[in-house]
Amino acid sequence: MNMDGFDYKSSDFEQEAELLKTLAHPVRLCIVKSLIKKGACNVSTMYTCLEMPQSTISQHLGKLKQANVVKAERDGLEIYYKVENPVVIQMMEILFKDEE
């Protein structure tokens, strides 16, 4: 650590920055918040709730999955998404603490 208390190495912050970038979209925040609140859900159910095209929701879910924000589990023909990442859950609790 240097004299002023800051010890910056970009590699130390890349993963966190990518997570924040992934969550920094209103639709993705809504999806993550809803999955935490309601539990596992498929795209068809999200489509009904969000009132936007399934393809749009699927694109957002793809980005969330790639960033390890959501996990996908197949049940027959359906894929259910859920949030198991404890860091993401804690972040969402902090962001939306006034809504509880």
Can you tell me the distance from the alpha carbon of 17 to that of 10, in angstroms, rounded to the nearest whole number? 10
Q: What is the pTM of this model?
A: 0.84
Enter the tokens of residue 15: 């993963």
Q: Mark out the alpha helices in the chain (DSSP H runs).
A: 10-23, 26-38, 43-50, 54-66, 86-95
Instruction: Summarize pLDDT for 2-44 with one digit per residue, the tens.
Output: 556 677 777 778 888 999 999 999 999 999 999 999 999 999 8
pLDDT digits (tens, 9 = 90+) for 50-99: 889 999 999 999 999 999 999 999 999 999 999 999 999 999 999 998 87
Q: Which domains does the chain have, with CATH numbers?
A: 12-99 (1.10.10.10)
* Residue 1 binned pLDDT confidence (cut-offs 50, 70, 90): very low
